[in-house]
A = this chain, B = another copy of it.
């Protein structure tokens, strides 16, 4: 599977690391706004031995047409900015390149635009693209339907500098129809990220816990999404859509 990556900030680098280490993907290029690292090899920059030479390009150098012609890909992973989709979206859709975007703060009209693109190609949008968190949310939803009388509480823990309540915790809270104000936010030292959903029964307690070790967790999710979409039809997807079939055990 040939992959192109947009964005090379901290999350983008982490995703690139996982893609380079996977035998199922070829990272063909990374496109970024900044001109630093221009034309350097991604594996060399990240210190990963890899013969497939993904190169780092500044966005200004290319039109999407030229880029897709010269370095064709099957999947685009977008960890850049809310606007980027307007740069590459139409051309990617025309060529039926799968779009996986992890941008969290799209305005409503961009979501509409994504859905329009999904008439021509597969588009997955997930603001938190880890398997773990999406699995947890589905699981919690199921448990709440089994035992609606339980008390559900959410604790999230992050590094001291993190501002505001974790977006992931807010998403979990919304999924479970809980008041967002009830989320307990712990801020201490260098904790990478921990989310715990507590189900209090009268005589037992269930805890569903997700701990992030490193940002590279995004990479696992991207890989899972890319592989799962391979045999899917055109359309608009979320991580939830891709995980749901695994829950149908009967």
Q: Is A138 an interface residue (CB 8 A)?
A: yes
Residues of B within 8 A of A220 (CB): 147, 201-204
> Measured between alpha carbons, how far is A186 from B207 in the docked complex, in Å?
13
Q: Is A131 an interface residue (CB 8 A)?
A: yes
- Stretch of A73-81, A110-118, A149-157 lying at the B interface: A149-157
- Chain B proximity of A248: nearest CB distance (Å): 5
Most B CB contacts (10 A, CB to CB) among A138, A159, A206 go to A206
Q: Is A135 an interface residue (CB 8 A)?
A: yes
Please determine whether A247 and B249 come into contact, CB atoms closer than 8 angstroms: yes
Please determine whether A203 and B207 come into contact, CB atoms closer than 8 angstroms: no
Copies of this chain: 4
- Chain B proximity of A24: nearest CB distance (Å): 12
- We find that the number of chain A residues with CB closer than 8 angstroms to chain B is 63
Name 14 extra pairs, CB < 8 A, besides A153-B188, A190-B204. Answer: A131-B146, A131-B147, A132-B206, A142-B249, A145-B246, A150-B189, A189-B200, A201-B220, A203-B220, A204-B213, A206-B209, A207-B209, A208-B208, A248-B248
Residues of B within 8 A of A219 (CB): 203
Contacts A160-B200, A206-B210, A207-B207; is A250 near B249 (CB within 8 Å)? no
Please determine whether A188 and B152 come into contact, CB atoms closer than 8 angstroms: yes
Please determine whether B217 and A200 come into contact, CB atoms closer than 8 angstroms: no
Please determine whether A201 and B209 come into contact, CB atoms closer than 8 angstroms: no
Q: Mark A55-89, 1 if CB is under 8 A from B, else 0.
A: 00000000000000000000000000000000000
> Measured between alpha carbons, how far is A219 from B249 in the docked complex, in Å?
26
